[in-house]
Amino acid sequence: MDKFDREKALNVLIALSLLIIPFIAIEMDEPFYVTLATRVVVFAIAGVGLNLALGLGGLISFGHAAFFGIGGYAAGILASHALNYEPLMTSLFELNGTTEMLIIWGVAVVASGLAALIIGLFSLRTSGVYFIMITLAFGQMIYYFAISWPAYGGEDGLSIYVRNKFPGVNTLDPINFFLICFTLLMLSILLISVLKNSRFGAALQAARQNDERLSTVGIHPFKIRLTTFVVSAMITGLAGALYADLNRFVSPSMLSWHTSGEIMVFVILGGVGRLFGPVVGAALFILFESIFGGLTEHWMLFLGLVLLAVVLFARGGLIGVIAGKTRHG
């Protein structure tokens, strides 16, 4: 079988098994596994976002936790205002919080997109190691801001006591919330797939290889990269909002550089630039955490060893191992 067909078949298999697991869990009366699967899905969305910048754009952002956290805080702040009946602002006109997921997602996406626009304008002037480090620095800046900002709990974080609402669906039922997240995951993967095969995607990959050639045909690589960075951040921000709803809680730890590292780990474990790479990576990570975390306090040592082995010996990640190399691998 052709290698690319093999990857497509694998993708379908991954999507189906992820979809089926929660239903089996309900059948076996183990509702916790629904939560676990939802966690995988949410982390996968965050990874899909980063994968756009990292895998397609070659932009190694070490600060995506910032967007994950901003999305989370957008959800947390809106919901807490709505639940406490305190308007967000009263000066010009009265603006209230909300518990409608659709609005929250919109705000989360716009807020993280705006943050990415500002961070991107500065960071994309640099490249290589400088880009890695400046995105890390912006992430740290926002992290310290969140810790010491008293209005929304600072380091204690912010609780959302009730899960937010979605029209026509009971979101308190774990399986419904899972399905909402799963749909969003599939939509974001679809978006990436469309982008990848569009003129934009072609330009992005060209910009990755050679700036000047692109400039001579009248395409501005900076604008292409900035757009990629912003879209990537928006997807990760959406994941942050979902994560807030899943945990009913947001805190600055969502913004810490460890979170940036973990999102990167999802992408790598699965396979950089692969459509379903982050899904596989997030699933592996969660499995590892919940299996070894229960067995030994030192599970992070083993996570480190596995990660090291993947980077050194299985460069395409798990999908790469199974489906073989891609053209630009």
69: nearest Cα among 262, 300, 225: 262
45 binding other proteins? (CB under 8 A)? no
33 binding other proteins? (CB under 8 A)? yes
Which residue type does 252 have? P
User: CB-wise, 24 or 308, nearer to other proteins?
Assistant: 308
Are residues 33 and 25 in contact, defined by beta-carbon separation less than 8 angstroms?
yes
Question: Which residues inside 171-210 make contact with other proteins, applying CB under 8 A?
Answer: none
Question: What gap in Å lies between CA 227 and CA 230, rounded to an integer?
Answer: 5
Are residues 319 and 276 in contact, defined by beta-carbon separation less than 8 angstroms?
yes
Are residues 223 and 47 in contact, defined by beta-carbon separation less than 8 angstroms?
no
Among 15, 21, 31, 195, indicate the residue that binds other proteins (CB under 8 A): 31
Question: What gap in Å lies between CA 149 and CA 109, rounded to an integer?
Answer: 22
- Give one word for 239, left, alpha or beta, with left for phi > 0 and alpha for psi -120 to 50: alpha
Backbone angles phi, psi at 169, to 5 degrees: -130, 140
134 binding other proteins? (CB under 8 A)? yes
Paired with 166 in beta bridges are 169
21 binding other proteins? (CB under 8 A)? no
Stretch that binds other proteins, among 177-185, 204-212, 224-232, 257-265 (CB under 8 A): 257-265
Question: Which residues inside 280-319 make contact with other proteins, applying CB under 8 A?
Answer: 289-290, 293-294, 297-301, 303-305, 307-308, 311-312, 315
Stretch that binds other proteins, among 31-39, 74-82, 105-113, 225-233 (CB under 8 A): 31-39
CB of 120 to other proteins, least distance (A): 12
Stretch that binds other proteins, among 2-10, 118-126, 197-205, 220-228 (CB under 8 A): 118-126
Are residues 71 and 240 in contact, defined by beta-carbon separation less than 8 angstroms?
yes
User: CB-wise, 176 or 253, nearer to other proteins?
Assistant: 253
Q: Which residues of 231-240 are buried (b: 16+ CB within 10 A; e: fewer)?
A: bbbbbbbbbb
86 binding other proteins? (CB under 8 A)? no
Q: Which residues of 101-117 are buried (b: 16+ CB within 10 A; e: fewer)?
A: beebbebbbebbbebbe
170 binding other proteins? (CB under 8 A)? no
Backbone angles phi, psi at 158, to 5 degrees: -140, 130
Among 128, 167, 168, 218, indicate the residue that binds other proteins (CB under 8 A): 128
**Interface residues with other proteins (CB under 8 A)?**
30-33, 35-36, 39, 54, 60, 62, 122-123, 125-130, 132-134, 136-138, 140-141, 144-145, 147-150, 153-157, 159, 161, 243, 247-249, 251, 253-254, 257, 261, 264-265, 268, 272, 289-290, 293-294, 297-301, 303-305, 307-308, 311-312, 315
